[in-house]
Amino acid sequence: MFVILTYDVNKRRVSKVRKICLKYLTHHQKSVFEGMITQAKLRKLKNELERYINYQEDRVCIYKIESIKYASREEIGVITLDNNIL
- Domain span holding position 65: 2-69
Among 44, 12, 18, 13, smallest CA distance to 31 is for 18
Tens-digit pLDDT profile for residues 55-79: 999 999 999 998 878 788 888 887 7
- How far from the centroid of its chain's Cα atoms is residue 57's Cα? 18
Tens-digit pLDDT profile for residues 25-58: 999 889 999 999 999 999 999 999 999 999 999 9
Asked if 49 and 59 count as a contact pair (C-beta separation under 8 A), the reply is no
* Residue 74 belongs to some domain of the structure: no
pLDDT at 84 over 90: no
Question: What local confidence, expressed as pLDDT, does residue 86 receive?
Answer: 46
CATH of the domain at 46: 3.30.70.240
Total domains present in the chain: 1
pLDDT at 12 over 70: yes
Q: What is the pTM of this model?
A: 0.85
